[in-house]
């Protein structure tokens, strides 16, 4: 392992970890402003995490080791997955970055969260887990189709290689990436449990999915779960940004270029976060059994990407 | 002959955008957004005609672009929006035969079928890859419009399906069978009359003559008693 890779391995997860609460905070602020409220401060999520890390942990007496282990596994899988999507610069070595493995790492993290929801035997947890798995199994073909479309267009399954190819070209060389971009946006909305699919702001309501699963977690464990879902969102955002607008990503590690690339990426990420906030404010939550209609658009767009590429 | 430089790339981006709007026309439930989508689709079509004009310098292409922009970009959407005033509900949530999810899947299949059947004759028929692409997307768009017609229950959204179909025919005409300009004009006039008649029918079919007159007055049409 050379110096370049070492910097990458430290920097990429750290970038996602540090930025994700800010992204969440910004989405909340944008939504609040649109609703005419001042909303919480943008840095609220950081305070929230600090508060949670100082609290004690309470476990249900019916719960097993799964609830205790789940948050660690979740954050570990997410940080590993974050290695697969270069956010600041593209590493030289190609031993990681397979897009299919990337999505499966994310699914595994979700799987342990679902188990954690079921473990304590509370009704809300079970309901949340069941819904989460239903949604996951419907979005799965869409995700795979989008991976296939990306791999088909860019002729590689390695995410860093994709970004490298994209940096060399322009949107005119790959017009179909507009369609893949829309698919990835829908996947981002679903995976980060945002409005038309789930409502991240409700607690103890019959509509919640993600929040219902983590009701049993408390204190630092809850903070880890929150961080993991923040990282999940940030990583997917980075994938979407770099697929549709990769310019600004540094090709090589160098002090000045790294700083510039990090700032550029952060700005792009915050613009996307504001867009997500706007999108959430414009839509109402979709009824659970109508969700497939929403996902099908992503599937269709990925499919016609492949047909379009065949045609070209 | 079309070169594959910047013009070709630009047209491909516009094709992609057209396919994107087609997907949303199939699934969108709010009528206002449905009309906006149709407007966007028509403006993109006009843009394609302008790009083609820049390449070929055929004046009729410019006229087609202008006609599309004015009639389909402004007049027809404006007329459709006026009908919203009279309509009791602003959303179309009724579907027959196919749910939006299955029509989306079916249209993906349709696109693939059109592609495979066209690729058999591609060598003979199309001098250029881009024309092949335009033909396939044009026919698919027409088929998707047809699917909107039979899967939607409300007449207003059926009209949007018909309009999408006509957009597909126009796209096909731009790239494959070059229609004389006069026929293009006649099609648009037909289209416009059809919109007027079918919107009137959409409101009048379930009401008495008196109530119908009242509704038409709301639409801005005056009648002598």
Report d(CA B133, CA A156) in Å as an integer: 24
Say if residue B1's pLDDT is above 50: no
Q: Verify whether the Cβ–Cβ distance B23 to A293 is below 8 Å.
A: no
Find all residues with CB under 8 Å of B178, minimum gap 6, and list them. none
Mean pLDDT of chain B: 82
Q: What is the DSSP letter of B75?
A: I
Q: What is the mean pLDDT of residues A112-116?
A: 91
Compare CB distances from B101 to A179, A182, A292 and report the shortest one's residue.
A292
| Ranges A187-196, A207-216, B102-111: which has the least confidence | A207-216
Complex-level ipTM: 0.78
Mean pLDDT of chain A: 89
**Could you give the residue ranges of the DSSP H alpha helices within B127-208?**
129-151, 155-175, 181-204
pLDDT at B12: 87
- With 0-12 CB in 10 A as exposed, 13-18 as middle and 19+ as buried, what is B222? exposed
**Helix or strand holding residue A258 (H, E):** helix A255-282
Q: Does residue A308 belong to the interface with chain B, where contact is any CB pair within 8 Å?
A: yes
Q: Does residue A289 belong to the interface with chain B, where contact is any CB pair within 8 Å?
A: no
Give which of A80, A82, A77, A88 is closest to A163, Cα–Cα: A88
Q: Mutation test of the interface with chain B: which of A279, A293, A309, choosing the one with the most B Cβ atoms within 10 A?
A: A293
Q: Verify whether the Cβ–Cβ distance B101 to A293 is below 8 Å.
A: yes
Find all residues with CB under 8 Å of B41, minimum gap 6, and list them. B18, B21, B22, B25, B164, B167
**What is the pTM assigned to this prediction?**
0.88
Q: Verify whether the Cβ–Cβ distance A296 to B27 is below 8 Å.
A: yes
Nearest residue on chain B to A183, alpha-carbon basis? B20
- Residues of A in Cβ contact (< 8 Å) with B13: 171-172, 175, 178
Report d(CA B107, CA B26) in Å as an integer: 9
Residues in chain A, total: 312
pLDDT tens, A206-231?
Answer: 677 888 888 888 999 999 999 999 99
* B191: closest CA of chain A, how far (Å): 29
Q: Does residue A3 belong to the interface with chain B, where contact is any CB pair within 8 Å?
A: no
Number of domains observed in the structure of chain A: 1
Nearest residue on chain B to A291, alpha-carbon basis? B101
Say if residue B2's pLDDT is above 50: no
* A290: closest CA of chain B, how far (Å): 9
Q: What is the mean pLDDT of residues A138-147?
A: 92
pLDDT band at residue B31 under the 50/70/90 scheme: confident
Give which of B164, B222, B220, B166 is closest to B190, Cα–Cα: B166
CA torsion angle B77 B81 B83 B86 (round to 10): 180
- Percentage of chain A modeled with pLDDT above 70: 96
Report d(CA B124, CA A261) in Å as an integer: 50
Structural domain of A161? 3-311
pLDDT band at residue B45 under the 50/70/90 scheme: very high
Q: How many Å separate Cα B11 from the centre of its chain? A: 18
* A141: closest CA of chain B, how far (Å): 13
Q: Does residue B30 belong to the interface with chain A, where contact is any CB pair within 8 Å?
A: no
Q: What is the mean pLDDT of residues A125-135?
A: 90
Which residues numbered 77-136 in B keep a CB inside 8 Å of some CB on A? Answer: 99-101, 104-105, 107-108, 111-112, 115, 129, 132-133, 136
Q: What is the mean pLDDT of residues A116-132?
A: 88
Nearest residue on chain B to A297, alpha-carbon basis? B23
pLDDT at A167: 87
Q: Verify whether the Cβ–Cβ distance B13 to A175 is below 8 Å.
A: yes
Say if residue B100's pLDDT is above 60: yes
- Residues of A in Cβ contact (< 8 Å) with B132: 311
Nearest residue on chain A to B119, alpha-carbon basis? A311
Q: How many Å separate Cα B9 from the centre of its chain? A: 23
Is residue A138 within 8 Å of A295, Cβ to Cβ? yes
Say if residue B223's pLDDT is above 60: no
pLDDT at B175: 84
pLDDT band at residue B179 under the 50/70/90 scheme: low
Q: Verify whether the Cβ–Cβ distance A178 to B101 is below 8 Å.
A: no
């Amino acid at each position: 392992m050379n110096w370049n890779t070492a910097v990458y391995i430290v920097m990429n997860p750290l970038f996602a970890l540090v930025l994700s609460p800010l992204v969440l905070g910004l989405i909340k602020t944008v939504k609040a402003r649109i609703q005419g409220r001042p909303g919480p401060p943008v840095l609220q999520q950081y305070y929230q995490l600090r508060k949670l890390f100082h609290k004690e942990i309470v476990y249900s007496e019916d719960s097993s080791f799964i609830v205790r282990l789940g948050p660690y596994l979740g954050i570990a899988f997410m940080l590993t997955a974050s290695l697969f999507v270069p956010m600041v610069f593209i590493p030289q070595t190609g031993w990681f970055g397979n897009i299919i493995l990337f999505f499966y790492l994310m699914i595994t993290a979700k799987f342990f969260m679902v188990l954690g929801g079921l473990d304590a035997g509370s009704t809300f947890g079970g309901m949340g887990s069941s819904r989460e798995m239903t949604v996951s199994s419907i979005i799965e073909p869409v995700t795979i189709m989008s991976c296939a479309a990306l791999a088909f267009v860019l002729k590689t399954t390695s995410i860093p290689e994709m970004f490298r190819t994209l940096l060399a070209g322009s949107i005119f060389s790959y017009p179909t990436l507009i369609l893949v971009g829309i698919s990835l946006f829908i996947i981002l909305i679903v995976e980060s449990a945002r409005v038309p699919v789930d409502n991240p702001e409700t607690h103890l309501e019959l509509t919640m999915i993600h929040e219902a699963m983590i009701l049993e977690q408390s204190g630092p464990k809850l903070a880890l779960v929150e961080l993991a879902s923040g990282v999940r969102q940030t990583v997917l955002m980075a994938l979407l940004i770099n697929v549709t607008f990769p310019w600004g990503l540094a090709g090589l590690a160098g002090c000045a270029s790294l700083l510039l690339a990090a700032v550029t990426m952060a700005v792009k990420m915050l613009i996307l976060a504001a867009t997500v906030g706007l999108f959430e404010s414009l839509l109402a939550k979709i009824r659970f059994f109508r969700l497939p209609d929403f996902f099908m658009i992503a599937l269709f767009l990925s499919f016609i990407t492949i047909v379009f590429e065949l045609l070209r | 002959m079309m070169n594959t430089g910047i013009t070709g790339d630009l047209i491909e981006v516009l094709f992609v955008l057209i396919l994107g709007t087609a997907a949303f026309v199939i699934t969108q439930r709010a009528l206002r957004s449905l009309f906006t989508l149709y407007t966007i689709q028509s403006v993109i079509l006009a843009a394609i005609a302008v790009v083609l004009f820049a390449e070929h310098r055929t004046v009729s292409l410019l006229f087609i672009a202008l006609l599309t922009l004015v009639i389909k970009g402004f007049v027809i959407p404006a007329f459709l929006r006026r009908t919203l005033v009279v309509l009791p509900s602003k959303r179309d949530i009724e579907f027959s035969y196919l749910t939006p999810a299955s029509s989306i899947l079916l249209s993906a299949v349709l696109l693939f079928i059109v592609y495979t059947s066209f690729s058999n004759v591609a060598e003979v028929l199309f001098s250029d890859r881009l024309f092949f692409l335009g033909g396939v997307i044009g026919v698919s768009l027409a088929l998707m419009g047809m699917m909107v017609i039979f899967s939607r229950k409300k007449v207003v959204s059926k009209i949007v399906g018909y309009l999408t179909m006509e957009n597909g025919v126009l796209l096909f005409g731009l790239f494959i069978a070059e229609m004389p300009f006069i026929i293009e004009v006649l099609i648009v006039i037909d289209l416009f009359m059809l919109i007027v008649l079918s919107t009137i029918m959409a409101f009048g079919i379930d009401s008495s003559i008196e109530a119908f007159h009242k509704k038409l007055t709301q639409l801005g049409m005056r009648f002598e008693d």
